[in-house]
Chains A and B, each alone.
Chain A
């Protein structure tokens, strides 16, 4: 008995957290057999077991792979473009006061506004193919990366910069020796946020005017009252989000252990 208590004490956090999720899933599974739902609602209702079965079936029948493939391409290309543009631009903005002052109004305005607002415009310009989604992923992921890189460069210790300068380093060497290493924790935060925004861009981009992709699968399943397929899609996005952001979060907390605690952001 005592060992049981001590095992619980040791793993209280995992047991409570995992137990709660398990409890919710079980409750969801058994609700329909305990209470009779009104006909209107039962049409849209599904249980976790059905969702798992549907997922298995979709995979076996090869119906989900092509959607997944398209979404993955949009995500990867858009995010890669955002990194390729956001990091250098953030570095330059952080180092040059003139560039910073000139771009700041645009960065502030675009960062405050959800970039989703441009989706109809991108669809009009680029059509309903893959490119309008890539651009929406790109523009969504760009600003967290840009701003966090900028913040990192701005927070570099001025003394270190001056020391390296005094020893005759040029701007490029200052960047390599001091600025970049010091910005890494910030860039990682930016990357985590960017992953979240990129996923959001994929989902929403595919809701409108698309004919392939996981977002499209969710939207068309919803209009056909296939709640189980909707939840398969939602579960995939949830899984991907956790799979992609939690490792980054781990690295982040290792790198920023010395910083004061701030709330979670996604």
Chain B
């Protein structure tokens, strides 16, 4: 009786665990007993786990991760510094929005990643090209989300502050910024995925270090367990960042949950 109720309470996480663990066990068993494993073509969980622990012990992937995150953080910070002010002005001033919106929308909608080869040829293989690429891809969610947030600020609140003689500074800090913040966090969540795309493309295309380079090198040399464990590392990082921001969104603006399609 008590057991069954407990199960219903935790049904979701239990079923999720069951399917993940079940898949891993099935994968392992199939390639241990049913189909002979061709190590140049596929791999199995036990080999991936071995490669994963070796990576962690030797710390070889660590340096790649540091290299990539340096480029990522620089580009991403630049996107925040540039994107939020532009978005704020666009949301606040109608004429600025009219002027910039078509141009920026066109850039946002198109796969700017197509510029990657040229950027790398011009700026060289290394940090700068990757930073520019991450910036180019991740700046737009910040611009458009900040603008939407500023526009969505409750007019009534603005009028109240003005009526009670609040200064412009109060208006910005006490009304507009807090109501825009959840939008910015939502933008950051979208921007993270795009920024990682920038890192990956930059490093797949031409690099001598970094997590993207590690993955493509392992692929080229048929080191599949190593490749899968590198992919796993990046997946863990991406999930941690995205879900962390989603949690932050819920904390900042619980009323907005579920309003926006991913």
Given A113-B238, A120-B219, A207-B201, also A241-B111 (CB < 8 A): yes
Q: Give CA–CA (A266, B112) in the complex, Å.
A: 12
Contact B105–A264 (Cβ < 8 Å): yes
Question: Chain B's nearest CB lies how many Å from the CB of A209?
Answer: 10
Contact B148–A262 (Cβ < 8 Å): yes
Q: Give CA–CA (A218, B238) in the complex, Å.
A: 29
Contact B121–A222 (Cβ < 8 Å): yes
Which residue of A is nearest B20, CB measured? A105
Question: A28 at interface (Cβ–Cβ under 8 A)?
Answer: no
Contact B117–A230 (Cβ < 8 Å): yes
Question: B106 at interface (Cβ–Cβ under 8 A)?
Answer: yes
Q: Give CA–CA (A108, B242) in the complex, Å.
A: 9
Interface of B is mostly: helix
Which residue of A is nearest B235, CB measured? A113
For A215, what are the chain B residues with a Cβ–Cβ distance below 8 Å?
114
Question: A121 at interface (Cβ–Cβ under 8 A)?
Answer: yes
Contact B98–A12 (Cβ < 8 Å): yes
Interface of A is mostly: helix
For A144, what are the chain B residues with a Cβ–Cβ distance below 8 Å?
262
Given A241-B109, A263-B144, A263-B147, also A207-B98 (CB < 8 A): no
Contact A20–B103 (Cβ < 8 Å): yes
B99 CB contact (under 8 Å) in A17, A238, A259 = A17
Contact B20–A114 (Cβ < 8 Å): no
Contact A111–B200 (Cβ < 8 Å): no
Question: B227 at interface (Cβ–Cβ under 8 A)?
Answer: yes
For A78, what are the chain B residues with a Cβ–Cβ distance below 8 Å?
none
A204 CB contact (under 8 Å) in B11, B41, B113, B218 = B113
Given A200-B197, A241-B109, also A20-B120 (CB < 8 A): no
Contact B204–A208 (Cβ < 8 Å): yes
Question: Chain A's nearest CB lies how many Å from the CB of B85?
Answer: 16
Segment of A56-64, A81-89, A95-103 engaged in the interface with chain B: A95-103
Question: A190 at interface (Cβ–Cβ under 8 A)?
Answer: yes
Q: Give CA–CA (A264, B204) in the complex, Å.
A: 29
Question: A69 at interface (Cβ–Cβ under 8 A)?
Answer: no
Q: Give a binary string over B223-262; 1 marks a CB under 8 Å from any A CB, 0 the rest.
A: 0100100010011001101110000000000000011111
Which residue of A is nearest B100, CB measured? A20
In chain A, positions 101-143 with a C-beta closer than 8 Å to chain B are 101-106, 108-109, 111-114, 116-121, 123-125
* Other contacts beyond A102-B19, A106-B20: 13, CB < 8 A: A17-B99, A17-B102, A20-B103, A101-B19, A102-B16, A104-B12, A112-B241, A116-B201, A117-B234, A208-B204, A242-B110, A265-B190, A265-B260
Which residues of A line the B interface, CB within 8 A?
12-13, 16-21, 24, 41, 44, 97-98, 100-106, 108-109, 111-114, 116-121, 123-125, 144, 147-148, 151, 155, 186, 189-190, 196, 199-200, 203-204, 207-208, 215, 218-219, 221-223, 225, 227, 230, 233-234, 237-238, 241-242, 245-246, 259-266
